[in-house]
Structure 1
Amino acid sequence: MEVSHAKGSYIFDKKGKAHLDFVAGVSACTLGHCHPKIVEATKKQIETYMHVMVYGEYIQDTAVKLTKLLAKHLPESLSTTYLTNSGTEGIEGAIKLAKRITGRSQIISAYNAYHGNTLGALSIMGFEERKSAFRPLMPDVAFITFNNEADLEKITTKTAGIVLETIQGGAGFILPKNDFLKKVRNRCNTTGTMLILDEIQPGFGRTGTLFGFEQFNCIPDILVMGKGMGGGMPIGAFSSSYENMKLLQNHPKLGHITTFGGHPVIAAAALATLKELIASDLMAETFEKEKLFRSLLRHKLIIEIRGIGLMLALILKDEETANQVILQCKERGLILFWLLFEGKAVRITPPLTITKEEIIVGCKILLDVLCAIENKK
């Protein structure tokens, strides 16, 4: 598609065709496209000042207001936030912080995990096919299977940190089961290991609460965020306690630095997004919209619907069916997308602002395509 413009839940191509967006830029456009409050906030900031200095040298109001508002809505142990340019950069910072806190080197992640594509994040990707071409990678990395309690014994007093997606994304929107995250938390408490939760995709209201971990009785030592945080603008962050974060100030000096992290224009967009999420009913409404999706999307070719809130994935009978659904829906004006490691999945992660009427319209297109595919077989 050659994009002309986008507004609300729609992207318009240069031929004038409207495409209903069930993907939101892969969970990035929390409030839809060109939300007026985000546009207003960024315009105002651009007219005031843009980049003036590397992050942390000068006090810049938008970044301070953003991190203070985050602190107000996070546990005290996550009260200090470092702003980055992307979620992946947040992961890199979190890995460094875990090593700095513990003095250890081992990092554990999960098979089929995705945390980004820079060197450290790639090293903890649990999918060898996507990283073998770039070896050698970061050493001393181990893997567990998500939801496998027996694997928690791999977390030892040699482990600096374990990095987990609160909900596994690329693997197929897999939720933690049987208090798995709580059990990881307990094991980390025993071994002195930092628990790093990657909320880049579930965070900022997509699962019905500001962050997904709130629903699983598990508070991490380090929280990573991104994607929907900026409402369509590029941003990430990692949060921990003040005591932990100040360790990056010395030994060595400037232990973690960035030129554009905390950029005032991007921070203004993120602040507007966060304010709107907190002030509105959008987060609570995600559960109602999830129920609507589940009630409408009933078809023989749909094996199950995974996920929670507006982080949903249709699991179809095979990869070919998933490919046909995504491509044929695009031709009919509905944007769907794939997941990285689960070929039978169809991503449904619309803007949180999507209306029930738009959901009904999109699901009708999707069901029509499923019926057309079924009739050809």
Structure 2
Amino acid sequence: MSYLFPTYARWDVTIKEAKGSWVTDENDKKYLDFISGIAVCNLGHANENVTAAVADQLTKYWHMSNLFHQPIQEEVAKLLVDSTEGDAVFFCNSGAEANEAAIKLARKHTGKTKIVTFLQSFHGRTFATMSATGQEKIQQGFGPLLETFQYLPYNDSNSLDELKDDVAAIMLEVVQGEGGVVPAQQEFLQKVTETCKRIGALLIIDEVQTGIGRTGKPFGYQHYEISPDIITSAKGLGSGLPVGAMIGKQSLIDTFGAGSHGSTFGGNPIAMAAAKATLTQIFEENFLKEVEEKSNYLLGKLNTVIGAHALVKEIRGKGLLLGIECKEQVGDIINQLREKQLLVLPAGPNVVRLLPPLTVSYDEIDLAIETIAGVFSTIEQSVGAQ
């Protein structure tokens, strides 16, 4: 009997330790981890710099109310501001909370209530962020959603023409992660920014999965010529410690004055120590250059080796957020890869999602490709024999 609510379809694997790109289960079986805690452990497991920073903070203090000044919050906020279009940061504990703050800020600043998001998006599971999510399966069973969200087709520039000046913000991911690893098209994002200007709406970019170096830049939107008003971040921000952030432009600062929003644990010094060590390493120019080089290598291998398989429909993504769209549902494929000691995720019913640590080695990439190719060949042979 479990004392937990069964909200997760858990695999029959119990991890006892993890280091770098590898995790070990209770039976001492090792797995190559191309999940990274769902784009969380961007520096791999148990990164030494993050471990040392957290251990040092633990000897000082663990928690203070946000009524007190905490210099480490300012240090982490500066790292984020210096690497984005933003000017100020609100700290929270998760991506859903960061998106919730963004929605509140946009509505309060504009005085309008409608938020436009996109089909197949994912923004969280609070009532507001669930309502913002353009996927019915996330929303089923919870009764009426918040009525102030409108969903448009992703990458459909023409659909933006219908929008009027009653919109507070347009909110999107530059790569839809949960929605199938679908990158935004340049012309679509340009049309989004033009539309925001035309109707007086803010542009919110949800970087919970695409941020913190995952795409080879500090944030995914920086691959495109756009300047968001609000950026949200979490996942990779704390290397596994719970931390989220909403980053906004100068013009929005006064809207979030004292008492307008808050979080008991937001900006917790332990999480801030992890975030500072994480950002200091990932935002270094040479580190991001290596991520880009590894991405090109992995994508090249996927296209030449995996793309040749009859099972594959398309390979797509950005940086080290990549997807293999298959011609059948991928549940069994993912199970077989796990049996071969490679951990990957689905992104919708037909896409295998790859999220290796940004510190992954070329040898580990080669091993993953070999494992995927082997499983695909086995499945194709079994189908051919039927």
Normalised TM-score (structure 2) = 0.92
The equivalent residue for 1:33 is: 45
**Is 1:278 aligned to residue 283 of structure 2?**
yes
The equivalent residue for 2:170 is: 162
In the aligned structure 2, how far is the partner of 1:8 from the partner of 1:119? 36
The equivalent residue for 1:3 is: 15
Which SS does the other structure have where 1:71 is aligned?
Answer: helix
Contact 2:125–2:138 (Cα < 8 Å) also in 1: no
In the aligned structure 2, how far is the partner of 1:52 from the partner of 1:302? 52
Question: After superposition, what is the alpha-carbon deviation per residue over 1:117-166, rounded to whole angstroms, capped at 9, x for unaligned?
Answer: 00100011111232131122212211111111111123321001111111
The equivalent residue for 2:9 is: none
The equivalent residue for 2:322 is: 312
The equivalent residue for 1:63 is: 73
**Is 1:256 aligned to residue 256 of structure 2?**
no
Question: After superposition, what is the alpha-carbon deviation per residue over 1:16-40, rounded to whole angstroms, capped at 9, x for unaligned?
Answer: 1110001101111110000000000
What does residue range 44-123 of structure 1 map to in structure 2 within 5 Å? Answer: 44-53=56-65, 55=66, 57-75=67-85, 78-123=86-131
Which SS does the other structure have where 2:283 is aligned?
Answer: helix
Q: How far off is 1:178 after superposition?
A: 4.2
What does residue range 180-191 of structure 1 map to in structure 2 within 5 Å? Answer: 180-191=188-199
The equivalent residue for 2:212 is: 204
Q: How far off is 1:168 after superposition?
A: 1.2
Runs of 4+ off more than 4 Å? none
In the aligned structure 2, how far is the partner of 1:330 from the partner of 1:344? 17
Counterpart residue identity of residue 60, structure 2: T
**Is 1:293 aligned to residue 276 of structure 2?**
no
Q: How far off is 1:292 after superposition?
A: 2.2
Q: How far off is 1:170 after superposition?
A: 1.6
Of 366, 374, 380, which aligns to 1:368? 374
Which SS does the other structure have where 1:113 is aligned?
Answer: coil
In the aligned structure 1, how far is the partner of 2:163 from the partner of 2:60? 49
**Is 1:355 aligned to residue 365 of structure 2?**
no
Q: How far off is 1:59 after superposition?
A: 1.1
Counterpart residue identity of residue 374, structure 1: E
Contact 2:95–2:124 (Cα < 8 Å) also in 1: yes
In the aligned structure 1, how far is the partner of 2:271 from the partner of 2:143? 34
In the aligned structure 2, how far is the partner of 1:282 from the partner of 1:317? 35
Question: After superposition, what is the alpha-carbon deviation per residue over 1:335-363, rounded to whole angstroms, capped at 9, x for unaligned?
Answer: 01111xx2110010110000001111121
Q: How far off is 1:254 after superposition?
A: 0.7
Contact 1:113–1:125 (Cα < 8 Å) also in 2: yes
Gaps of 5+ in 2: 1-12
Normalised TM-score (structure 1) = 0.94
In the aligned structure 2, how far is the partner of 1:175 from the partner of 1:357? 27
Which SS does the other structure have where 2:203 is aligned?
Answer: strand
Alignment root-mean-square deviation, CA: 1.2
Which SS does the other structure have where 1:182 is aligned?
Answer: helix
Counterpart residue identity of residue 18, structure 2: A
The total of aligned residue pairs comes to 366
Contact 2:54–2:270 (Cα < 8 Å) also in 1: yes
- How many percent identity over aligned positions? 33
Q: How far off is 1:70 after superposition?
A: 1.4
Of 264, 268, 272, which aligns to 2:273? 268
In the aligned structure 2, how far is the partner of 1:45 from the partner of 1:224? 25
Answer with 295-304 or 185-194: which moved more: 295-304
Contact 1:123–1:131 (Cα < 8 Å) also in 2: yes
Counterpart residue identity of residue 216, structure 1: Y
The equivalent residue for 2:136 is: 128
Which SS does the other structure have where 1:179 is aligned?
Answer: helix
In the aligned structure 1, how far is the partner of 2:365 from the partner of 2:292? 13
Contact 1:179–1:216 (Cα < 8 Å) also in 2: no
Which SS does the other structure have where 1:305 is aligned?
Answer: strand
In the aligned structure 2, how far is the partner of 1:201 from the partner of 1:122? 16
Gaps of 5+ in 1: none
Q: How far off is 1:174 after superposition?
A: 1.1
Which SS does the other structure have where 2:346 is aligned?
Answer: coil
In the aligned structure 1, how far is the partner of 2:293 from the partner of 2:250? 37
In the aligned structure 1, how far is the partner of 2:343 from the partner of 2:51? 23
Contact 2:215–2:321 (Cα < 8 Å) also in 1: yes
